[in-house]
Structure 1
Amino acid sequence: MSGQTKYGEHAALVEKMAEALGLDLTEEMMAGNWTPEDMQSTVSRCLGCTDPAHCKGWLGEHAEGTEETPDYCRNKDLLEAMRTRLVSA
Structure 2
Amino acid sequence: MADRDTLRKHADLFDRMATTLGHDLEESALKGQVRIDEISDAVLACTGCSNPAHCSDWLATRDTALQAPQYCRNRALLERLHP
CA RMSD of aligned residues (A): 1.2
Inter-partner Cα distance in structure 2 for 1:71 and 1:50: 13
Match in the other structure for 2:69 = 70
TM-score by length of 1: 0.86
Match in the other structure for 1:55 = 55
4+ residue runs of structure 1 moved beyond 4 angstroms?
none
Match in the other structure for 1:24 = 24
Equivalent pairs, count: 82
TM-score by length of 2: 0.92
Tell me the amino acid that sits aligned with residue 41 of structure 1. D
Tell me the amino acid that sits aligned with residue 68 of structure 1. Q
Question: Structure 1 unaligned runs (5+)?
Answer: none
Question: Structure 2 unaligned runs (5+)?
Answer: none
1:81 CA drift (Å):
2.0
Match in the other structure for 1:14 = 14
The structure with more radius of gyration: 1
